[in-house]
Copies of this chain bind each other. A is one copy, B any other.
Amino acid sequence: MKTGAANVRGKPRARTATKARLHPAKTQRGKVEMPLAVKPARGRPRKVDNKAEPSVRERILEVAERLFAEYGMTGVGLRAITTEAKVNLASIAYHFGSKDGLLEALFAQRAAPIAEERLRLLALACEKSDPPKLEAILDAFLRPSLVLGADPRFGGPAFVKLRARLGNEPETLSRKILSKAFDQSSRKFIDALALSLPKVPRADIEWRFHFLLGAMFYTMADSGRIQALTNGRCDPSDVAAALRHMIPFLAAGFRSAPVA
In this assembly, does A51 line the interface, its C-beta being within 8 Å of a C-beta of chain B?
no
A218 on interface, CB distance cutoff 8 Å:
yes
Q: Report A3 CB to chain B, min CB distance, Å.
A: 9
Q: Is the CB of A10 within 8 A of B255?
A: no
Q: Is A150 an interface residue (CB 8 A)?
A: no
**A41-49, A53-61, A101-109, A245-253: which lies at the interface:** A245-253
Total count of chain A residues near the partner, CB < 8 A = 80
Residues of B contacting A259 in the complex (Cβ-Cβ under 8 angstroms): 244-245, 248
**Least CB separation from A4: chain B residue:** B84
Known A-B contacts A214-B215, A218-B214; A251 and B245 likewise in contact (beta carbons under 8 Å)? no
Instruction: Kindly report how many copies of this chain are found in the complex they form together.
Output: 2
Contact B75 A225 (CB under 8 A): no
CB distance from A257 to the nearest CB of B (A): 7
Query: Do B230 and A8 have beta carbons less than 8 Å apart?
Result: no
Cross-chain contact of A234 among B1, B206, B214 (Cβ < 8 A): B206
- Interface residue A136 (Cβ < 8 Å from any Cβ of B): no
B8 and A75 form a contact (CB under 8 A):
yes
B169 touches A80 (CB 8 A): no
Question: Is the pair A213, B226 in contact by a Cβ cutoff of 8 Å?
Answer: yes
Give A100 Cβ to nearest chain B Cβ, in Å: 13
Q: Is the CB of A248 within 8 A of B244?
A: no
